[in-house]
């Protein structure tokens, strides 16, 4: 265990993902808690005014749908869950849109499934959309697309979704607001000797042993899903805080460096985690051949790969696949995520971005591989 709460982790965080659970959003199932949602939106608006970027991952659609349909017990049948989500999502989106607008912010509803983030092209599309919304000063409000998910593709809980979103946008921190103060060494409701965990390293096996099962009949999570979410978020370098959602000004105080809740520190820096993921864990689908000028720019300047420096394409790959970047003598210079499929890449070789729209019928990114998605070969 670590001994001290590192105030700089949240204080220095520029991009923050906030996740709130069903019991908080729906006031333990009694209906959407407009006041609580408004308070979180007020705090997020203040963080945006401070120059931070904030994404909200909110549960509550199924719980709100249950309330509107008059259901007391969460159903087990997938089609009934989907129906409840469809009904509840209307109210959930409306409340967030209203409360964020009252605080001077625009909002956008984004519904995701696991398939969106396992398919590389859809992954990049989702990432591009979210980053564009952040640049526009809009707060994305994300939920699992429960109206279309099946057992095979559902995230299983929005704690996992929060972690996947943190990885997707390379957030600096994930804040999980829940109905508990944070992590204890044991269930404090059953063990009077349970001690509060102020700080620990994310991913430790001992943390999973401390966490119990699902804590609410409304959601699918519990402390264990939050511990596992922190472990997943740490893979891209994001630290996680688990805190009580009704703590006054919790988001603002955390981002001022105050020790609230349990801080689970990512052991790997963000850039290191990103580069390791690309370099070591993804299969190459093809390659592009580049000229000497592009080789020099990549190796010396930390540049993105522009199509104007490409002289050839090998293999068949799709947008979002991992490709090698090779010199004309076949030496691998770097590898990264392709912004264009192989067929498109062949059309834009040696071409400036100003011609992409004419050649392809559309224009996406100006780079073949963005420097954030590129790692130099060893």
- The string of pLDDT tens digits covering residues 216-239 is 444 445 899 999 999 999 988 999
Mean pLDDT of the chain: 89
CA atoms within 13 A on the CB side of 364: 21
The predicted pLDDT at position 16 comes to 98
H/E segment holding residue 143: strand 138-144
pLDDT band at 301 (very low <50, low <70, confident <90, very high): confident
DSSP structural state of residue 309: G
Q: Which domains does the chain have, with CATH numbers?
A: 7-274 (3.40.1160.10), 282-376 (2.30.130.10)
Higher pLDDT, 260 or 188: 260
The more confidently predicted of residues 322 and 288 is 288
Decide: 219 and 157 in contact? Cβ < 8 Å: yes
pLDDT tens-place string over residues 146-170: 777 666 556 767 899 999 999 999 9
- What is the pLDDT averaged over residues 71-87? 88
Angle at 133 between CA 132 and CA 137, to 5 degrees: 115
Query: What confidence tier does 26 reach under pLDDT thresholds 50, 70, 90?
Result: confident
pLDDT tens digit string along 32-65?
Answer: 999 999 999 999 999 999 999 999 999 888 888 9
Express each pLDDT in 107-130 by its tens digit.
999 999 877 887 777 888 999 999
* This prediction's pTM: 0.80
């Amino acid at each position: 265990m670590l001994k001290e709460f590192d105030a700089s982790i949240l204080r220095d965080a520029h991009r923050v993902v906030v996740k709130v659970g069903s019991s908080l959003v729906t006031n333990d199932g009694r209906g959407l808690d407009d006041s609580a949602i408004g308070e979180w939106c007020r705090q997020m608006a203040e963080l945006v005014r401070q120059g931070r970027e904030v994404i909200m991952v909110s549960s509550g659609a199924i719980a709100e749908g249950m309330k509107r349909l008059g259901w007391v017990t969460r159903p087990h049948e997938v089609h009934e869950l989907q129906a409840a989500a469809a009904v509840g999502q209307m109210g959930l989106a409306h409340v967030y849109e209203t409360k964020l607008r009252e605080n001077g912010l625009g909002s956008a509803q984004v519904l995701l499934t696991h398939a969106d983030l396992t398919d590389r092209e859809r992954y990049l599309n989702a990432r591009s959309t979210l980053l564009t919304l952040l640049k526009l000063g809009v707060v994305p409000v994300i939920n699992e697309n429960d109206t279309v998910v099946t057992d095979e593709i559902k995230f299983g809980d929005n704690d996992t979704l929060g972690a996947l979103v943190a990885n997707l946008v390379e957030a600096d921190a994930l804040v999980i607001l829940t109905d508990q103060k944070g992590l204890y060494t044991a269930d404090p409701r059953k063990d009077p000797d349970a001690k509060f965990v102020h700080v620990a390293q994310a991913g430790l096996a001992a943390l999973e042993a401390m966490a119990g099962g699902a804590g609410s009949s409304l959601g699918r999570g519990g402390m264990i899903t939050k511990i596992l979410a922190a472990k997943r978020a740490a893979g891209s370098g994001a630290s996680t805080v688990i805190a009580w959602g009704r703590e006054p000004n919790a988001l603002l105080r955390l981002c001022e460096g105050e020790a609230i809740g349990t801080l689970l520190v990512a052991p790997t820096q963000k850039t290191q985690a990103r580069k390791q993921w690309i370099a070591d864990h993804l299969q190459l689908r093809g390659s592009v051949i580049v000229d000497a000028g592009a080789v020099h720019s990549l190796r010396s300047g930390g540049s993105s790969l522009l199509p104007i420096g490409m002289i050839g394409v090998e293999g068949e790959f799709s947008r979002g696949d991992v490709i090698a970047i090779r010199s004309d003598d076949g030496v691998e210079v770097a590898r990264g995520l392709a912004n264009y499929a192989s067929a498109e890449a062949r059309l834009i070789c040696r071409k400036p971005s100003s011609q992409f729209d004419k050649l392809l019928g559309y224009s996406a990114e100006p780079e073949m591989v963005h420097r954030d998605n590129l790692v130099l070969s060893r």
